Structure 1
Amino acid sequence: MSELSPQRRELRMSDADRERVVQHLNAAVGEGRITLAEFEERVAGVLAARTFGEVEPYVADLPQVVPPVREVIELKSMASDLKRTGRWTVPRRIIVRNSAGSVKLDFTEALITHPIVEIHLEVLAGTTVLVMPPGASVDASDVHTMAGSLKVRHQIGEQGGGAHFVVTGRQRMGDLVVRHQYQFWRWRW
């Protein structure tokens, strides 16, 4: 968590986010990195925290669990939906091949380790939705659309400081929608 962007530090944490941090602290006490007294003190601080920045001091001296990041992944599907949501590791390049189904790549909770993420689309007869994390910027000017449209919503990249996404390829007989996460009270989509 020590490499959080300023925008990420100010974001409010969900209960699920706090639970992940508590699990990380639990693993640290199990490995002998912190004492039980430190664990109790840190958990109390994490549970009282409102933002990611407030949690940072409680885990700053612990090693971060980072799964290995692949350079390229290819996501393929035919006549079905293709989704990536929640906590997932984003490679430097994503190739999406989908026919007769919708695609949704939600980057709001994803672990993004590269400053530039390339997404190449080969989508036929389906809508593609890319949900950007806070502060992300997007260049989708090299996407060829046929019998569909390109919709960029919520002024992506206005805050700056986040990852930059470069979207290329073909979106045929369906829309490409690039947006931030929608939120209404406690619901997010």
Structure 2
Amino acid sequence: MRASHADRDRVVETLRIAAGDGRLSAEELDARLESALTARTLGQLAELTSDLPADTGPGLGTLPVTGAPPARDVLVIDQVGGQFTRIGGWTVPGRIEVRSKMCDVLLDFSAAVITRDVLRIDCDMRLGKLIIVGGPDAEIDTDGLTLAFAQVRLRGDRRNRHDMGRGATQPLRIEITGTLKYGKVIERRARRRRSAR
């Protein structure tokens, strides 16, 4: 998986703390910092902190080279134009910040790794669509969203989504807040796969 700027920053901070604690020499620190700033994947970053204890800092010290990245507390989407997409088995953070202009944002939760019961999406969107793809039990709350020349299209009656029998899995509750100008919030259902006969 490709590394982001935030991933590199966390590893750089971990390396600096380790050097301050005497775990890395000045030469090792310089070499690892250069590698961290040019790393392209999470696996490359994980190798740089694999011999450091987990409590060294907010890096990827406990992440196996072939493992999935840990869930981050915040995913920041800051984009002008085009489209931002999260699909497949991505790990959902506790909060997502969407700061976009003339950009469509697609968040597909149908195959995502859900680690929390509630996800908050803070929006500052203009001239774009926020498209949510979720399972049949997903709850979407847009009461905290301020609309200006914008629309919200949700499927079904949200008031009855929480009324499930015992033993049912806890649905993901998505709370969308902030501001949406000249745009849309659209909920889509995940496509069901046909079983082979």
Stretches (4+) displaced over 6 A: none
Partner amino acid, structure 2, of 1:126: G
Q: CA deviation at 1:182?
A: 4.0
Using the alignment, how far apart are the partners of 1:92 and 1:124 within structure 2?
A: 23
Gaps of 5+ in 2: 1-66, 165-169
- Report the Cα offset of residue 154 of structure 1: 3.4
**Counterpart of 1:126?**
128
Residue 82 of structure 2 corresponds to 80
Residue matched to 2:189: 180
Q: How does 1:35-184 map to 2 (within 5 A)?
A: 67-156=69-158, 157=161, 160=164, 161-183=170-192
Structure-2 change in CA distance of 1:114 and 1:175 (3 Å): same
AA partner of residue 105 (structure 2): V
Aligned length: 122
**Alignment RMSD, CA only?**
2.1
Deviates more, 1:156-165 or 1:70-79: 156-165
Question: For residue 114 of structure 2, what is the amino acid of its counterpart?
Answer: I
* Contact 1:129-1:178 at 8 Å conserved across structures: yes
CA distance in 2, matches of 1:67, 1:126: 29
Indicate the residue corresponding to 2:49 in structure 1.
Answer: none
Q: TM-score, normalised by structure 1?
A: 0.58
2:105 and 2:162 map into 1 onto residues whose CA distance is: 25
Query: Identity across aligned pairs (percent)?
Result: 26
Give the C-alpha shift of residue 71 in structure 1: 0.8
The CA deviation string for residues 141-185 of structure 1, in whole angstroms up to 9 with x for no partner, is 111111121111134536753121111111111111123224585
Letter in 2 for 1:118: R
1-structure distance, mates of 2:154, 2:191? 14
